[in-house]
């Protein structure tokens, strides 16, 4: 599933390529992927110019000069691919990022005036593109509930600690994955951050000291930043067909390294299940706190 760094990678790539382009047509093959009325499409999408591309948590917003916004959730297998004088694609890593498009995973295609195109591909059809008045976007349930952006300058360690303290009875990993606590931390980054802060993922939040929470706050921000610089865990060079392994995963210390040695203590990384998710730990560096 694309996580915050991947969606940020999509945002940055698209922002450079599609802002200022005029949409002249749209095609879609699956109504649930693009649940919009023909009237809205004709009045507010076709003929509009893209003014900005933004991200909130794992959701993308393509703003239009018609005062409507295309809100896009990639969910499990969504990806966005631009084809024009340049190619760019990111999101779920499949061959559709490099193959001829449209293909059988293509759900929505935007056609621009200069002949370039933007494809929303989604094999499993859980993702969606919605055309919504820009001033209504913040009213979508998802945006109302989602927690703060961990990388915003205004988001301080004290805010982080306060939000986690409200989840004192949860396990620390479940709290970290809870999008209403903070936005956009998925499984890979949760495991990496807990390893960096030396916290066992099953530890109850109440047993984690403020000092440790502060270390976790720093770890989350550092790991997300490094991952965005690397283009997310899906390889940003995928469009150049330079291999499928995500570039961030090369830096990962525990994620998918079970059986390998811990970089700090040399003991074996193991995989356990926490909050229903495959979880990677060094059980020496991240000791379980019994009391």
Q: Residues in the site for Zn ion, rule: CB under 5 A? A: 262, 264-265, 282, 284-285
Least distance (Å) from Zn ion to the CB of residue 281?
A: 9
Torsion, Cα of 40, 43, 46, 48 (10° steps): -110
Q: Closer to Zn ion at the Cβ: 166 or 287?
A: 287
How many Å apart are CA 133 and CA 78, to the nearest integer? 23
Q: Closer to Zn ion at the Cβ: 241 or 265?
A: 265
Q: Closer to Zn ion at the Cβ: 114 or 260?
A: 260
Q: Which of 128, 42, 39, 41 is nearest to 80 (CA)?
A: 128
The DSSP-derived string for 90-111 is EES-SGGGTS-SS-TTEEEEEE
Q: Closer to Zn ion at the Cβ: 250 or 287?
A: 287
Kindly state the tokens that stand for 54.
């933004």
Among the options 3, 8, 192, 202, which is catalytic?
3
The tokens 């926490």 sit on which residue? 274
> Does residue 58 have an active-site annotation?
yes
How many Å apart are CA 243 and CA 125, to the nearest integer? 25
Least distance (Å) from Zn ion to the CB of residue 171?
A: 20
Provide the strand spans (E) within 57-210: 59-64, 68-73, 78-83, 87-91, 106-112, 117-122, 128-133
Least distance (Å) from Zn ion to the CB of residue 246?
A: 23
Among the options 56, 58, 236, 257, which is catalytic?
58
Tell me which H or E stretch contains 222: helix 210-229
Among the options 2, 5, 93, 150, which is catalytic?
2
Q: Closer to Zn ion at the Cβ: 136 or 265?
A: 265
Least distance (Å) from Zn ion to the CB of residue 225?
A: 23
> Does residue 2 have an active-site annotation?
yes
**Residues 128-161: b if buried by 16+ CB within 10 A, e if exposed:** bbbbbebeebeeeeeeeebbbbbbeeebeeebbb
Residues labelled as active-site residues: 2-3, 58, 277
């Amino acid at each position: 599933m694309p996580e915050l760094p991947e969606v940020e990678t999509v945002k940055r790539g698209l922002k450079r390529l599609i802002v200022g382009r005029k949409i002249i047509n749209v095609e879609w093959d699956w109504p649930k992927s693009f649940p919009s009325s023909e009237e809205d499409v004709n009045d507010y999408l076709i003929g509009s110019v893209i003014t900005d591309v933004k991200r909130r948590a794992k959701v993308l917003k393509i703003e239009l000069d018609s005062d409507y916004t295309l809100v896009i959730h990639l969910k499990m297998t969504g990806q966005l691919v631009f084809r024009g004088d340049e190619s760019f694609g990111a999101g779920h890593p499949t061959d559709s990022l490099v193959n001829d498009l449209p293909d059988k995973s293509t759900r929505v295609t935007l056609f621009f005036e200069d002949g370039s195109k933007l494809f929303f591909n989604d094999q499993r059809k859980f993702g969606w593109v919605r055309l919504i008045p820009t001033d209504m976007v913040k009213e979508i349930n998802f945006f109302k509930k989602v927690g703060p952006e961990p990388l915003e300058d205004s988001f301080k360690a004290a805010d982080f600690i306060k939000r986690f303290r409200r989840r004192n009875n949860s396990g620390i990993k479940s709290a970290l994955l809870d999008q209403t606590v903070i936005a956009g931390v998925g499984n890979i980054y949760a495991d990496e951050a807990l390893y960096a802060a030396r916290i066992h993922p099953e530890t109850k939040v109440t047993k984690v000291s403020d000092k440790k929470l502060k270390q976790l706050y720093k770890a989350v921000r550092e790991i997300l930043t490094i991952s965005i610089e690397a283009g997310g865990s899906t390889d940003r060079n995928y469009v150049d067909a330079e291999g499928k392994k995500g570039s961030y995963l090369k830096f990962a210390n525990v994620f998918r390294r079970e059986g390998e040695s811990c970089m700090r203590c040399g003991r074996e990384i193991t995989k356990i299940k926490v909050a229903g998710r495959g979880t990677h730990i060094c059980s020496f560096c991240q000791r379980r706190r019994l009391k």
